[in-house]
Amino acid sequence: MTDASVVFVTAFLATAVEAIEMITIVVAVGVTRGYRATLVGAAAGLVVLVVTVAIGGQAVAAVPIGPLRLVVGTLLLLFGLQWYRKGITRVAARGLAGYYGQDPPDEPIPPGFDWTAAFLAFKGVSLEGLEIAIIVVSFGGSAGQVGPAILGGTAALVVFGAIGFLLRGPLERVPRSFLQLVVGTLLVAFGTFWALEGLGVAWPQSDFDIVLLAIFYSIAAGAFILLERRPTQQTLEVAGS
């Protein structure tokens, strides 16, 4: 039997990778769309996860993650692309400075409950949470130390949840258009990664390819912004001459 502390640390570290992905999505959606619906969606995702683990127990390790990743990843990819191109257009039109707190939402957040935010947070939490459950249950079960594995996974969620909460303030001061572009880029990167992994694609650098995808999409967004700004600047020069 593996030592309990080793199981705890290993489960903590393994969970941390997935927890960072989960909390990145929740914080990003919360900052962009508001926290009320986002936290409701995240809480619903956690409830579904707890119920799934409670009912499924060891069977959760046998949930076919491939089809799940394909469906959720494709949805995130398509939705993320909407924010990605809207963010490009808006940042190209207005730049990054001078409109703090004045940026009207081009996709108005509906009065009442924001189902889009709740749905995004729900998907992020439930999918990443399911992966955490699979890691914890399968690793803890195979080591004969399910208790320490659950504690390690829970500790990682608490630690990285607190970090995400602390980052909330600085994130709220970032211009909304720019943040929409950043969130869109993240959603497209995560969506691409999950959808293709669900298809059976072998990513050359494994999970690190999420970072590389985000960099790739960021560079492309920067190029598009430069191209979008060029006609605007030419028009201004003609008008000013």
Q: With binding defined as CB under 8 A, does residue 231 bind another protein?
A: yes
Q: How far is the CB of 203 from another protein (least distance, A)?
A: 6
DSSP string computed for 15-70? HHHHHHHHHHHHHHHHHHH-HHHHHHHHHHHHHHHHHHHHHHGGGGGGS-HHHHHH
Using CA atoms, how far residue 152 sits from 10, 13, 69, 76, 135, in Å, is: 8, 8, 24, 29, 11
**Among 100, 113, 115, 165, which residue sits at the site for another protein (rule: CB under 8 A)?**
115
77 binds another protein (CB under 8 A): yes
- For another protein, the binding residue among 20, 39, 40, 220 (CB under 8 A) is 220
Single out the residue of 2, 52, 89, 218 in contact with another protein (rule: CB under 8 A).
89
Interacting positions 168-207 with another protein (CB under 8 A): 188, 192, 195-196, 199-204
Which residues have CB under 8 Å from 173's CB, separation 6+? 100
CA dist 186 and 164 (Å) reads 15
**Chain contacts with another protein (rule: CB under 8 A):** 70, 74-75, 77-79, 81-82, 84-85, 88-89, 115-116, 119, 188, 192, 195-196, 199-204, 209, 213, 216-217, 220, 224, 227-228, 231
